[in-house]
């Protein structure tokens, strides 16, 4: 059985598949191949020409049969491979396993628990579908060797995923090299045999609610309510509602106004095209609910609640979603002030290199350390002496002592605290934005996402940009381009281009690590004139960048 022989690979896969649905998929395709259907042969090749690899967020892909899809065979191989890796690291390893409300999430989680227990690893299954931050918290709270979260976060409904955390000296962060490659090696070894022959055991534990109660209590403790707020909350058809509601009430903010149609878990995500608050239209129901109820702001989690989006009135009778960077630099300012007020002599603010340069300016102003990392919270969470970290894709780490991953619920509590303080002081959010621009300068950030159906388009575009460096973007001269393909500074080789322009603007181009997209990150800055003049200049520069990059990318 080799990748060059997809038919033999498919027959072997079907023989070990415990899932009636995916086994029937393969058997139907094989029957079509036997009947001479070329489309069926091509479909088999697309599923058996490689394997899903551990990437930015572990395993993630479309549900279906074959090693390039998410299914019970692939998850069984991953669980057994991870168990082997853990047993090689310590004598009595342990793992805590969580899952969300997507299709097959609970099935994949129980398979993992049985296979871990069968391999001799102490396995603890969380009691029901829960947010990813609860699982990340449980790794530290239960002091386990590892954690597994079955989720595809904000990916389309057809997807699922498998995210791995490590305890001990990794402090509950997601896996990074070389651990990912070492685990992948063990998975490949397991894949040489049949998952049907792997030992299983129902001797795993099911955690009680104590770990959830601890997460709620610890998250509520960071709150600083000073004035009542009326706010709308959307779980985006995910698993955030139950836990977030408990946290908000325990923190003193009361129960939010739920977006009823999006409150309960639904793997079909029926009210949105993509279950990602960043996508156009995803927050429309939340904004409608806010307008109907006279709310002060909108809070929306993604389906596994590790990200948070915030909506505010736009001043013209409508609503707008704050960008990930806007929330990021304001929460960073808040974290810096808190460190200063506490008398702390040190602390580090961190963000991904595609996030706004604004956080670095805040860190400098407060004489704090600042670190840029590669994209992915697995890198941000590992920064030393971390006080606060964020990535522009709506991910925020406001309480590193509790969780070493982005946490959309604790970040929501911090956002609510900020708005509550503004209300108590009689200041608007616009006043707060202006104060930031007056102190640090005005920043404007944008993003262009090119979603592709043919993944080959992404490397083609990146190759073209490398072969033909642009001399200008939107009429602004390009000063230099940093190519990360062979490594750059402290960063390892990565498929990233960073373009610096003569006016101080910046463009970063890279493939998405979790979706079939090419992403362009645009950043502009102005420190001349009043706060309003600074913001207008930054916004104008951003618009020029956006137009220029769209023309460049065709």
3-state secondary structure of 235: coil
Angle at 253 (CA atoms; ends 247, 256), nearest 5 degrees: 80
Q: What is the per-residue pLDDT for 2?
A: 43
What values do phi and psi take at 170, rounded to 5? -85, -10
- Domain 57-208 CATH superfamily: Alpha-D-Glucose-1,6-Bisphosphate, subunit A, domain 3 (3.40.120.10)
Distance CA 200, CA 116 (A): 8
pLDDT higher than threshold 70 for residue 3? no
Q: Is the bond leading into 178 cis (omega within 30 degrees of zero)? A: yes
Distance CA 301, CA 306 (A): 7
DSSP 376-392: SHHHHTT-TTEEEEEET
Q: What is the per-residue pLDDT for 1?
A: 39
Distance CA 147, CA 116 (A): 12
DSSP secondary structure letter of residue 210: H
| CATH class of the structural domain 219-431 | alpha beta
Instruction: With CA atoms as reference, report the closest residue to 410 among 488, 301, 483, 504.
Output: 301
- Angle, in degrees to the nearest 10, between helices 38-48 and 6-16: 70
Average pLDDT along the chain = 95
Burial class of 93 by CB neighbour count within 10 A (0 to 12, 13 to 18, 19+): buried
Architecture of the 441-553 domain: 2-Layer Sandwich (3.30)
pLDDT higher than threshold 90 for residue 69? yes
Per-residue confidence band for 515, with pLDDT thresholds at 50, 70 and 90: confident
pLDDT higher than threshold 80 for residue 17? yes
428-458 pLDDT, tens digit each: 999 999 999 999 999 999 999 888 888 888 9
Q: What is the per-residue pLDDT for 240?
A: 98
Q: What is the per-residue pLDDT for 516?
A: 82
Percent of the chain, pLDDT > 90? Answer: 93
Distances (CA, A) of 367 to 41, 79, 349: 61, 45, 11
253-292 pLDDT, tens digit each: 999 999 999 999 999 999 999 999 999 999 999 999 999 9
Q: What is the per-residue pLDDT for 478?
A: 96
3-state secondary structure of 171: coil
Q: What is the per-residue pLDDT for 57?
A: 66
304-343 pLDDT, tens digit each: 999 999 999 998 999 999 999 999 999 999 999 999 999 9
Percent of the chain, pLDDT > 70? Answer: 99
Active site residues: 153
**Domain ranges in the chain with CATH number 3.40.120.10:** 57-208, 219-431
386-396 pLDDT, tens digit each: 999 999 999 99
Q: What is the per-residue pLDDT for 56?
A: 64
**Domain ranges in the chain with CATH number 3.30.310.50:** 441-553
Q: What is the per-residue pLDDT for 4?
A: 60
pLDDT higher than threshold 90 for residue 357? yes
How big is the chain, counted in residues?
Answer: 554
156-210 pLDDT, tens digit each: 999 999 999 999 999 999 999 999 999 999 999 999 999 999 999 999 999 999 9
pLDDT higher than threshold 60 for residue 385? yes
């Amino acid at each position: 059985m080799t990748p060059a022989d997809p038919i033999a690979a498919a027959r072997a896969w079907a023989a070990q598949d415990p899932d009636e649905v995916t086994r029937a998929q393969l058997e139907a395709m094989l029957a079509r191949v036997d009947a001479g259907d070329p489309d069926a042969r091509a479909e088999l090749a697309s599923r058996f020409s490689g394997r899903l690899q551990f990437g930015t967020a572990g395993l993630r892909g479309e549900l279906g049969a074959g090693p390039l899809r998410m299914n019970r065979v692939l998850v069984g191989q991953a669980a057994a491979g991870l168990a082997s890796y853990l047993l090689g690291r310590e004598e009595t390893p342990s793992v805590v396993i969580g899952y969300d409300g997507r299709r097959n999430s609970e099935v994949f989680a129980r398979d993992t628990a049985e296979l871990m227990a069968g391999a001799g690893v102490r396995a603890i299954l969380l009691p029901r579908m829960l947010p990813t931050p609860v699982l990340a918290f449980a790794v530290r709270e239960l002091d386990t060797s590892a954690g597994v979260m079955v989720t595809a976060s904000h990916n389309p409904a057809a997807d699922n995923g498998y995210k791995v955390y490590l305890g001990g000296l990794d402090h509950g962060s997601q896996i990074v090299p070389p651990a990912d490659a070492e685990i992948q090696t063990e998975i490949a070894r397991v894949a040489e045999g049949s998952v049907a022959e792997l030992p299983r055991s129902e001797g795993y534990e099911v955690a009680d609610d104590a770990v959830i109660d601890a997460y709620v209590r610890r998250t509520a403790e960071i709150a600083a309510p000073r004035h009542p707020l009326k706010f709308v909350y959307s779980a985006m058809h995910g698993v955030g509602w139950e836990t977030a509601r408990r946290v908000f009430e325990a923190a003193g903010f009361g129960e939010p106004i739920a977006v009823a149609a999006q409150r309960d878990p639904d793997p079909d995500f029926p009210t949105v095209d993509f279950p990602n608050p960043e996508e156009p239209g995803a927050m429309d129901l939340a904004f409608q609910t806010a307008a109907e109820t006279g709310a002060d702001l909108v809070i929306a989690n993604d389906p596994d609640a590790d990200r948070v989006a915030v909506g505010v009135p736009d001043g013209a009778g409508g609503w707008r979603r704050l960008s990930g960077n806007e929330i990021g630099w304001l929460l960073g300012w808040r974290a810096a002030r808190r460190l200063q007020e506490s008398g702390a002599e040190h602390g580090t603010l961190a963000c991904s290199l595609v996030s706004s340069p604004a956080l670095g300016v805040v860190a400098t102003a407060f004489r704090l350390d600042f670190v840029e990392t590669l994209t992915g919270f697995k890198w941000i969470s590992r920064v030393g002496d971390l006080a606060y970290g964020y990535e522009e894709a709506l991910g925020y780490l406001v309480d590193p002592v509790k969780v070493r991953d982005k946490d959309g619920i604790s970040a929501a509590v911090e956002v609510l605290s900020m708005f509550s303080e503004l209300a108590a002081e009689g200041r608007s959010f616009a006043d707060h934005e202006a104060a930031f621009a007056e102190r640090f300068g005005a920043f404007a950030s944008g993003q262009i996402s090119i979603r592709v159906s043919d993944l080959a388009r992404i490397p083609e575009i990146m190759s073209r940009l490398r072969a033909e460096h642009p001399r200008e973007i939107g009429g602004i001269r390009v000063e230099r381009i940093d190519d990360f393909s062979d490594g750059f500074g402290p960063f390892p080789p990565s498929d990233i281009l960073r373009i610096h322009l003569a006016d101080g603007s910046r463009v970063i181009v890279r493939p998405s690590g979790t979706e079939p997209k090419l992403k362009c990150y645009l950043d502009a800055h102005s420190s001349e004139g009043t706060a309003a003049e600074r913001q207008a200049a930054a916004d104008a520069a951003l618009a020029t960048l956006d137009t220029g990059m769209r023309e460049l990318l065709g």
